[in-house]
């Protein structure tokens, strides 16, 4: 009787899961395994992981399978389970972070030396990083040509549902509660449940909602933080609760409708493409989370102002759009993408604080932060990344606020102190004078014009 392990990692779903599908098709008995490693997740993501695993357990239970939970070294747990239950084959979907690649290569050698087959699949990218090459056979360093090539060569696989589920193998398992993934004292994630439904069902609900309600006009509306115009799929994709194939299939199907907003559909797919490009960069430049992609930035004179950093983290910079974004992040574990660019530009170009410091804060506070996208995006804004914004592009927080939140709806939602401030002064309350009550809201942390000139001088000297 053939027995297998499917090791869940960044693929917490049953539908459209290639490794799981292969395991179910080929074996009579199966262990569904998840191994927890706290080092691979930011603080906020532990909340999501808890609820995602609850959802996955429920889905597996519907097919008379249980989810075995273990914590610690994957090698030890896999070898123990293999020996105890006479396992023939171990299945997993590939991960693309440098540490994961090294771990999986070594693990495959170890398991095969024990006479165990290892089968790995692509369950999280449209194209694997080594398959997309430029005309010279090298890798792309600019997004647009990368995406043109990537979308041209992508082949959408048919999703084969699991017809026959193997019998489960009884194993010892940790209780999910013993991992203490949910914050309690204080419960800073209390509001997350009002914003999110982790799990496979929540992912499909968000995808369908987006296509039905927000795909039309997405290209124009996606930059308005006060509007519910984006897919909110990023944390679901991060945890693998939905595959990029499912997203691509759904968008391609929507494009068949004669009324479909084709420009918006293609623009949305390019956002999926940026996720692909981020993993592509991380694969070809494994130092992306620590080193500047553009090496000349090694000499950039970053500032080390802990008080300024604290005020940025707490949403107390005195610039309403920046503070609204940082407070949205703390309250919901999420921040609108346009605002992410604003707050990142403010940290790196107004406060001149190292992008790695901002990336670390996002890592611990964002529900959707993954190593590739977080690193690539911060480097892009800071000007040191691949295909980065030109160094002289420094977001003016007031002009950005007036353009993308013209009625101040987003600001008033998150910065309660300014809820009664007239629109004329809302984007720059420091100019209102003494006749306007801004409560305890602080004065601006910096003079943007002067900070901009200093940043430009640094950039010129570096170049």
Show which residues are catalytic.
271, 274, 302, 337, 355, 378
Q: Which long-range contacts (CB under 8 A, 24 or more apart) does 430-433 make?
A: 430/318
Count how many residues are written for the chain: 463
How far is CA 36 from each of CA 73, 181, 207, 304, rounded to the nearest angstrom? 9, 10, 27, 34
Give buried/exposed letters for 403-430 (b at 16+ CB in 10 A, else e). ebbeebebbbbbbebbeebeeebbbbbe
* Residues 37, 183: Cα–Cα separation, whole Å: 17
Give buried/exposed letters for 360-389 (b at 16+ CB in 10 A, else e). bbbbebbbbbbbbbbbbbbbbbbbbbbbbe
* Residues 4, 32: Cα–Cα separation, whole Å: 9
Q: Please provide the DSSP assignment of 315-371 as one string.
A: T-SS-HHHHHHHHHHHHHS---HHHHHHHHHIIIIIS-B-HHHHHHHHHHH-TT--H
3-state secondary structure of 71: strand
* Residues 139, 31: Cα–Cα separation, whole Å: 38
Burial grade of 31 (CB within 10 A; 0-12, 13-18, 19 or more): buried
Q: Which of 255, 235, 89 is nearest to 156 (CA)?
A: 255
* Residues 90, 119: Cα–Cα separation, whole Å: 6
CA 203 from chain centre, in angstroms, equals 14
Cis upstream peptide for 186 (omega within 30°): yes
* Residues 186, 308: Cα–Cα separation, whole Å: 25
Q: Do 195 and 332 form a contact (C-beta atoms < 8 A)? A: yes
Q: Do 93 and 125 form a contact (C-beta atoms < 8 A)? A: no
């Amino acid at each position: 009787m053939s027995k297998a392990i499917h090791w869940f990692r960044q693929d917490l779903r049953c539908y459209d899961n290639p490794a799981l599908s292969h395991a179910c098709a080929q074996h009579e008995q199966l262990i569904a395994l998840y191994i927890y490693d706290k080092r691979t997740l930011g603080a906020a993501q532990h909340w999501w992981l808890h609820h995602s695993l609850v959802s996955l357990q429920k889905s597996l239970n519907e097919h008379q399978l249980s989810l075995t939970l273990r914590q610690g070294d994957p090698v030890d747990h896999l070898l123990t389970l293999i020996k105890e239950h006479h396992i023939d084959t171990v299945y997993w979907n590939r991960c693309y972070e440098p540490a994961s690649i090294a771990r999986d290569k070594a693990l495959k050698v170890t398991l095969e030396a024990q006479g165990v087959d290892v089968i790995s699949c692509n369950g999280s990218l449209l194209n694997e990083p080594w398959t997309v090459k430029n005309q010279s056979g090298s890798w792309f360093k600019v997004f647009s040509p990368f995406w043109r090539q990537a979308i041209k060569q992508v082949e959408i696989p048919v999703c084969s549902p699991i017809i026959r589920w193997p019998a489960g193998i009884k194993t010892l398992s940790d209780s999910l509660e013993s991992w203490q993934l949910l914050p309690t004292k204080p419960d800073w994630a209390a509001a997350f449940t009002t914003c999110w439904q982790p799990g496979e069902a929540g992912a499909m609900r968000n995808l369908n909602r987006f296509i039905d309600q927000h795909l039309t006009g997405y290209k124009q509306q996606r930059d308005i933080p006060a509007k519910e115009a984006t897919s909110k799929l990023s944390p679901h994709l991060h945890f693998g609760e939905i595959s990029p194939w499912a997203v691509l299939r759904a968008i391609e199907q929507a494009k068949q409708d004669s009324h479909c907003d084709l420009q918006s559909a293609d623009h949305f797919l390019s956002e999926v493409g940026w996720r692909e490009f981020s993993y592509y960069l991380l694969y070809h430049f494994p130092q992306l989370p620590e080193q500047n992609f553009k090496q000349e930035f090694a000499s950039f004179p970053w500032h080390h102002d802990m008080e300024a950093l604290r005020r940025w983290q707490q949403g107390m910079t005195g610039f309403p759009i920046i503070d609204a974004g940082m407070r949205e992040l703390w309250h919901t574990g999420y921040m609108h993408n346009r605002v992410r660019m604003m707050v990142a530009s403010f940290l790196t170009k107004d406060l001149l604080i190292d992008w790695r410091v901002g990336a670390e804060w996002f890592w611990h506070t964002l529900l959707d932060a993954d190593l590739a996208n977080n690193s690539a995006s911060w480097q892009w804004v800071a000007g040191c990344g691949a295909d980065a914004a030109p160094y002289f592009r420094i977001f003016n927080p007031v002009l950005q606020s007036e353009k993308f939140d013209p009625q101040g709806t987003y600001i008033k939602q998150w910065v309660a102190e300014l809820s009664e401030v007239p629109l004329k002064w809302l984007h720059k309350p420091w100019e209102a004078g003494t006749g306007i009550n801004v409560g305890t809201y602080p004065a601006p942390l910096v003079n943007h014009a002067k900070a901009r000139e200093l940043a430009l001088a640094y950039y010129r000297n570096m170049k």
